[in-house]
A and B are shown apart, each in its own frame.
Chain A
Amino acid sequence: MDFSAILSQFPDLYTLAGQFFVGMSRAMILFVVAAGLTVVMGVLRIVNFTHGTFYMLGAFIAFSVAQWLGGSSGFWLALLIAPLIVAALSFVVESTLMRRIYDQPRLMQLLLTYALVLAFNDLIKIVWGVHYKSMANPIPGSISLGGATLPSYNLILLAAGPLVALGLWFFMSRTMMGKLCRATATDREMVDALGINSKQVFASVFVLGCYLAGLGGTLIAPTTNIVIGMGMGIIINAILVVVVGGLGNVWGALVVSFIFGIGESFGVLFAPRFALVFPFLIAATLLMIRPSGLMKSVW
């Protein structure tokens, strides 16, 4: 074999580092969205396709908030407000629709959330129109990281993932509400028997999950075209992250998001056109090896 030919095709270290950070930034967005979904799926035990829609809503609302405020400070306020608006919307959805189907067969739950995806897609079309939107980058320019150049904004994304993971860990293991969430996930009847309103716990978990979806959408808004249907792509990846990582396991979601991110960014280098394939390939392989997820599932 001619090794030099292979070596010459091998990308240099800077390209590798650059790809690594770009992949990680994407992985962090995926993680923020998947973390919300894993909490919802872990506690409420529903597969929520609408999660992708809340992600998309986050991006559209962030766009509008930033436009309304104008200037470079617009994005930072959007970062604060947009996920909260999404959370408020999700509260309405939970209290009118979701809570009626917790005891329904799984297929019905899937279809209800999918029906909401269809309805919301059109509602967004009515409010924002069919044309794509794009937002100004709040931190233009690029920085050098490990010899690789990287858009400065990606630093925000890289920081967001660990922050969300730590926040969720603190919430779940150190606060009363988090403990209630875990208790409800384990044994809902017992929680009810102890005089705690598990309906409220369910509602809070759903709202928390959707807040994170909205946050993910807000974070990605400045880096991409905001289009109707952007939720359709990410939701499958997020669901796979959740299932492969272990349902309800935030750390599992973090690990699998990393794996997806690395797989995709290095996949780009070796088979550029098939980068899209890698997350599904990884998910199918991992599910084959460990059918119930990499880490302990609460189901």
Chain B
Amino acid sequence: MSDTGQIVVEGEVQAGPRRMVLNMGPQHPSTHGVLRLMLELDGETVVKCAPDIGFLHTGIEKEFEVKTYQQGVTLTDRVDYLAPLSNNLGYCLAAEKLLGLEIPPQAQWMRVMLTELTRLNSHLVWLGTHALDIGAMSVFLYCFREREDILRIFEMFSGQRMMTSYFRIGGLALEPPRGWYARVRKFMDVFPSRIDEYENLLTNNPIWIGRTQGVGFISLEDMLDLGVTGPMLRAAGLKIDARKSEPYSSYEKFDFEVPTSERNDVFGRYQVRVEEMRQSTRIIRQAMDGMPAGPWKADAPHVVLPDREKMKTQMEALIYHFKIVTEGFRVPEGEVYQVVESPRGELGFYMVSDGTTHPYRVHMRTPSFGNLQATGKMAEGTLIADVIASIGSMDFVLGDTDR
């Protein structure tokens, strides 16, 4: 609001003789959170679209500065709440890069497996809600059925359904409980057929095709210029994936494809994400079958909490435990930028250390923020009903955007 009480609208969005301004959101079911779009309309055609963000800004980047490195992991969950483990991983990898820690293979493989489960979780929410926006109610119910299974799997190892905070700097929090692998395997046995089920409902469905094909086009040049990453770029034919180009956490040891599409529309993005789910299933199977033996945590007593048993018998373990819990651990001076491929695209952690126990600065380059910037360009000249399909196909999370 301006001083005069008028709503300030961005840039050139204003009403005119034939034009009306429509305020969509921040409380709108199809904006998936608190996104506000200012639409300048000529009839049903969008002339200009100006997204307005910041409603969910929680100052997480500031909060990192007053937490110890380990405490920071819990904050990353709350940024992109549909892909908590991807965020955990990016943060831990950045801190580990600063520390120069070597993570044991079993922990690395476990991390890969869990981030891929997270990708499934996130894509299922996307598919369900995206289809719901366009009017395919039943897909939503099917997707959330499988998502429930994944959340139970998460709950089993971390005690939490969404805010898992399971990764630690230097490894994992705990060993997964007994029966966990069997549970994942059981899920993995049925899941591929479930993907076929979603495809049966949508891929050849004339309504779905009508609503998605040829809708939401934006050129590859515009996307690169505006900072779009992830499945959006892959649906425009650009084979870009940090898991392949800048492999982290042993991704180079896994055999999987990076699906692309040349369609560059809402349907193409749908195809890419569905294929990504299949590839994630492949990765999870490989991780389960080839899980190396070994420790869960790095051999770094000044960073990783000691085992409970050791604390009872070894003085050093007790001292380290006391130091880590009360003060945290010191991280050598420096700065790193660590990229992971989150379900939405490039998730980057820029971490600056001044040699103390708290990060000096943590900046999250979140994929939703970059992707959302292209909304205006994508919506211009399209029908207002297609705006819903377009923004659904971007798959953003507002917590991820506003931080």
Are A and B bound to each other?
no
Binding site for A on B (CB under 8 A): none
